[in-house]
Amino acid sequence: MNTIHDMGGMHGFGRIEVEPDEPAFHAEWERRVFALVTAVPFAVPFGDDSLRPAIESTPPAEYLASSYYELWLRGVTKLLLEAGAVTPGELATGKAASRPGAATFGRAATRDEIAKAIMTGFSPRRAEGKPPRFKAGDRVRTRNLHPTTHTRLPRYARDKVGTVTQDRGIFSFNDTNGSGQGEQPQHVYAVGFALTELWGPGHPPGDMLYLDLWDDHLDPA
């Protein structure tokens, strides 16, 4: 999706404002949004591959005007509505008009189940997938892809030549899984690009940028 979240290389956003001794959260509602987004997927199954496209579908002007946890709230609300777990009327009142709850969806995760999941995580690494087409040292060119769906190939790195520095192993492919086409597990490679390849002259020759790219993002160069 060629929209505002894919902002690498853009100009005009101004200085970086660092807040000294910044707390984890700035308001109680941020705490609750973070916790809801962490807990809800246990009952209404969705993962990052759903949440991120939901956030990325925010119109660009609204995306930029929203704080981080506002975008999370927008994303989780969209997914809950799409799943039929809540209705617009219920969101407006905060009262359940019906209680499909655990009958239609899973039950709420308990404190212990969530504590365990935080320590275990949800790795998208997979045991099997397509055989690798590349190895460390290979020169590769990224594909010139512009899908209207979720992709992990940023705009600034399309149709660019780089070198594979490491095979990271087999991972679920977020581009397909985030657009309803399944996990399509395949190798992910660390690929190094000279800043001069990405941005033209004016960068020291040794300065590099690295991305982790899936097999389907790449062609031999």
Q: Which of residues 199-218 bind another protein (CB under 8 A)?
A: 199, 204, 206-214
Per CB under 8 A, 102 contacts another protein: yes
Of residues 47, 52, 132, 158, which one binds another protein by CB under 8 A? 52
Q: Which stretch binds another protein (CB under 8 A): 130-138, 141-149, 179-187, 193-201?
A: 193-201
Q: Decide: is 130 part of the binding site for another protein (CB under 8 A).
A: no
Q: How far is the CB of 198 from another protein (least distance, A)?
A: 8
Asked if residue 128 binds another protein (CB under 8 A), the reply is: no
The Cα–Cα gap between 116 and 127 comes to: 23
Asked if 123 touches another protein (CB under 8 A), the answer is: yes
Residue 31 near another protein by CB under 8 A: yes
Touching another protein, residues 135-174 (CB under 8 A): 152-154, 156, 168, 171-172, 174
